């Protein structure tokens, strides 16, 4: 759940133990690290961190932090053999560090990608890039000024004025970003550089509840935008991850310069991509990378219907590339197995990226593959066409032409896709392979229209 929804809860100061409630009466607590968790009371009377989806999955026991309205995870009482004192047992305890997979480990096409765990409202992203400086909690208070800035947007906290990332603040505004005096968010390259090399300079969330602003200590972005894309979408080429991150940044504010509203949309977009069942996309066109692809124009001066495949090294988002080196063995098997099809490989890749793929229907020509995402009213129709050495791709007909054919309309009456294959709900795609170097082959997807 995005950080903005924390502002909808009751104020922790209104209860003796800092409990907060939503409009349905569910209980939440603010943790010492700045996160806000849904909690439930177990049969023993203890509060436990909880999941909005999994009532049967108890989380860690939490307890009030003395002298504050915040909570902390309760340290479990260690087991002591009978007859052993607490001090003797603690001296003999040994802590073993277990090895964990490194961040560079690439996923395999066969490994299970979904792990259920309790999610906080303000989610500390796993395996996030460590902050360059371990700033103490509350260091942002040094950013305050005794006077209201004349030429900059700001908010007031405890009598101090804090510059915010440019944003129009009204009485309905519930979330802004405090601007670090050492860094002003602007364009993508500078923002991405900051997240990679000095993420402690990023803006800080401030949420308003009952006319009071509260600053969230947890960083909004726990890793670079490119790293976030690579985590949410498997097997993308490094360049595709980068161009998709840049496109999301620019699209968030409909500009290549970000502001406060844009940062909020950007965070909500990346949160949705990583937690699709917990949050909705801030805008329909940002719900999926394939929705963000521009429609390729037909080549001018060519009689036949010809598309020119964009360069795999283009700065702008014009194509999505999957790097076969990331599923090398599966790709080798497909190349060496008689009867193995490109359609089958794409089906596996898309399924492992969370799409619902119809492997059996053959409603469209050119062996087109139909797939969709749950909670997104769009059908993707992916056709497979070879690309010529000069980068051109030929097509046989207009993308939506088949939908008007009486034979297809009659078939659709008996299909599960009947209510989805309607104008405005279909995204037409072209997929294929392209060898970009002697050692590297991409599976590409572009959008036609």
pLDDT, tens digit, 9 for 90 and up, residues 213-267: 999 888 899 999 999 999 999 999 999 999 999 999 999 999 999 999 999 999 9
> pTM (2 decimals)?
0.71
In this structure, the answer to whether residues 239 and 276 fall within a common structural domain is yes
**Structural domain that includes position 14:** 3-73
Q: Any idea which of 76-80, 357-361, 398-402, 428-432 has the lowest mean pLDDT?
A: 76-80
- Asked if residue 103 is part of any domain, the answer here is no
DSSP state of 438: S
pLDDT for position 2: 57
- Which one has a higher pLDDT value, 301 or 306? 306
pLDDT at residue 156 greater than cutoff 90: yes
In this structure, the answer to whether residues 371 and 428 fall within a common structural domain is yes
Strand partners, 9: none
In this structure, the answer to whether residues 179 and 300 fall within a common structural domain is no
Cα dist from 307 to 28, 302, 315, 424, 428, whole Å: 53, 10, 19, 22, 13
- Asked if residue 253 is part of any domain, the answer here is yes
Alpha helices in 157-259 (DSSP H): 188-197, 225-232, 238-252
Q: Report angle CA 155, 159, 163 to the nearest 5 degrees.
A: 30
pLDDT for position 76: 58
- Asked if residue 297 is part of any domain, the answer here is yes
Q: Which of 73, 92, 111 finishes a domain?
A: 73
d(CA 39, CA 141): 30
In this structure, the answer to whether residues 258 and 301 fall within a common structural domain is no
In this structure, the answer to whether residues 378 and 347 fall within a common structural domain is yes
Average pLDDT score over residue span 324-337 = 89
In this structure, the answer to whether residues 281 and 297 fall within a common structural domain is no
Average pLDDT score over residue span 403-412 = 65
Portion of the chain with pLDDT greater than 70, in percent: 76
In this structure, the answer to whether residues 29 and 163 fall within a common structural domain is no
- Asked if residue 128 is part of any domain, the answer here is no
* Helix/strand/coil for 21: strand
In this structure, the answer to whether residues 440 and 317 fall within a common structural domain is yes
In this structure, the answer to whether residues 224 and 332 fall within a common structural domain is no
**Residue 129, token pair as written in the block:** 């890039």
Q: Which of 286, 303, 330 finishes a domain?
A: 286
Q: Any idea which of 133-137, 208-212, 234-238, 417-421 has the lowest mean pLDDT?
A: 133-137
pLDDT band at 336 (very low <50, low <70, confident <90, very high): confident
Query: Can you say how many angstroms the Cα of residue 126 is from the centroid of all Cα atoms in its chain?
Result: 12
- Asked if residue 146 is part of any domain, the answer here is yes
The helix (run of H) or strand (run of E) holding residue 273 is: helix 260-274
- Asked if residue 108 is part of any domain, the answer here is no
- Closest C-alpha among 139, 11, 124, 3 to residue 73: 124
pLDDT for position 360: 82
In this structure, the answer to whether residues 313 and 332 fall within a common structural domain is yes
- Asked if residue 358 is part of any domain, the answer here is yes
- Asked if residue 50 is part of any domain, the answer here is yes
pLDDT for position 112: 40
pLDDT for position 121: 43
**Residue 24, token pair as written in the block:** 């349905």
d(CA 291, CA 366): 22
Q: What is the largest CA-CA distance in the chain?
A: 91
In this structure, the answer to whether residues 232 and 341 fall within a common structural domain is no
**What is the number of structural domains in the chain?**
3
Strands 379-384 and 426-435: parallel
Strand partners, 446: 430
Mean pLDDT of the chain: 80
In this structure, the answer to whether residues 194 and 278 fall within a common structural domain is yes
The helix (run of H) or strand (run of E) holding residue 20 is: strand 20-21
pLDDT band at 52 (very low <50, low <70, confident <90, very high): low
d(CA 427, CA 380): 5
Q: Which of 251, 286, 321 finishes a domain?
A: 286
């Amino acid at each position: 759940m995005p950080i903005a929804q924390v502002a909808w809860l009751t104020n922790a100061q209104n209860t003796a133990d800092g409990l907060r409630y939503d409009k349905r009466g569910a209980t939440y607590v603010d943790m010492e690290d700045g996160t806000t968790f849904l909690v439930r009371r177990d049969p023993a009377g203890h509060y436990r961190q909880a999941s909005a989806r999994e009532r049967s999955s108890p989380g860690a026991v939490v307890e009030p932090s003395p002298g504050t309205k915040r909570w902390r995870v309760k340290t479990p009482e260690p087991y002591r053999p009978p007859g052993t004192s607490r001090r003797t047992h603690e001296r003999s305890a040994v802590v073993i560090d277990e090895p964990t997979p490194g961040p560079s480990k690439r996923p395999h096409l066969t490994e299970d990608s979904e792990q259920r765990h309790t999610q906080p409202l303000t989610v500390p992203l796993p395996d996030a890039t460590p902050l360059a400086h371990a700033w103490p909690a509350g260091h942002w208070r040094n950013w305050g000024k005794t006077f209201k800035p004349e030429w900059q947007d700001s908010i007031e906290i405890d009598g101090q004025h804090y510059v915010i990332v440019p944003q129009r603040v009204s009485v309905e505004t519930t979330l802004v970003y405090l601007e670090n005096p050492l860094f002003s968010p602007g364009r993508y390259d500078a923002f991405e550089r900051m997240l990679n090399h000095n993420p402690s300079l990023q803006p800080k969330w401030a949420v308003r509840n009952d006319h009071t602003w509260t600053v969230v200590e947890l960083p909004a972005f726990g890793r670079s935008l490119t790293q976030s894309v690579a985590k949410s979408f498997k097997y993308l080429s490094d360049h595709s991850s980068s161009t998709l991150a840049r496109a999301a940044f620019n699209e968030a504010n409909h500009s290549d310069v970000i502001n406060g509203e844009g940062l909020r949309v950007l965070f909500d977009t990346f949160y949705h991509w990583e937690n699709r069942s917990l949050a909705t996309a801030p805008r329909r066109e940002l719900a999926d990378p394939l929705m963000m692809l521009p429609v390729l124009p037909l080549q001018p001066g060519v009689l036949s219907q010809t598309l020119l495949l964009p360069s795999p090294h283009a700065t702008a988002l014009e194509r999505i590339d999957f790097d076969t080196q990331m599923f090398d063995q599966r790709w080798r098997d497909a190349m060496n197995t008689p009867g193995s099809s490109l359609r089958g490989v794409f089906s596996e890749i898309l399924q492992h990226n969370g799409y619902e793929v119809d492997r059996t229907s053959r409603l469209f020509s050119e062996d087109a593959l139909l797939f969709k995402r749950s909670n997104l009213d769009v059908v993707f129709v992916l056709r497979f066409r070879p690309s010529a050495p000069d980068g051109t791709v030929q097509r046989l007909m207009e993308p939506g032409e088949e939908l008007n054919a009486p034979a297809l309309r009659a078939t659709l009456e008996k299909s599960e896709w009947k209510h989805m294959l309607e104008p405005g709900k279909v995204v037409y795609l072209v997929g294929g392979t392209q060898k970009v170097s002697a050692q590297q082959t991409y599976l590409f997807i572009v959008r036609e229209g």
